[in-house]
Amino acid sequence: MKKKKLKSLVKSARKTVRNDIKRSLITELTSIAVKLGQDSKKLNKEIEKGSKELAKKLSKDIRIDKAAIIEVTELIDAQKVPVTEATPAN
């Protein structure tokens, strides 16, 4: 696998992890704020901003296993079967 493609796959995996962390933080913190009776647009905006920053910091420290990414992409490529169009017999 080319190095450029591998870097691209690692970057997209890290971005996916970052979005997952951000989404889970937002849902948990919002539910806690609602339970405490603090439900406002300003607070929700602060929660989103803080979650985004924290997710970015956490995702930088996460190490993505390059070997696992290579295996998964090879499996996906192997599963792709070329689609052939059947021509009707005249």
Identify the three-state secondary structure at position 55.
helix
Q: Taking the domains of the chain in order of start, what are their residue ranges? A: 13-63
Residue 87 has a pLDDT of 63
User: Which of 56, 73, 81 lies closest to 8 in space, CA to CA?
Assistant: 73
| Distance, first Cα to last Cα, the chain | 44
Mean per-residue pLDDT, 12-31 = 92
Question: CA angle, corner 64, sides to 59 and 68, nearest 5?
Answer: 150
**Does this model's pTM top 0.75?**
no
Encode pLDDT of 61-88 as tens digits. 888 777 777 777 777 767 765 656 656 6
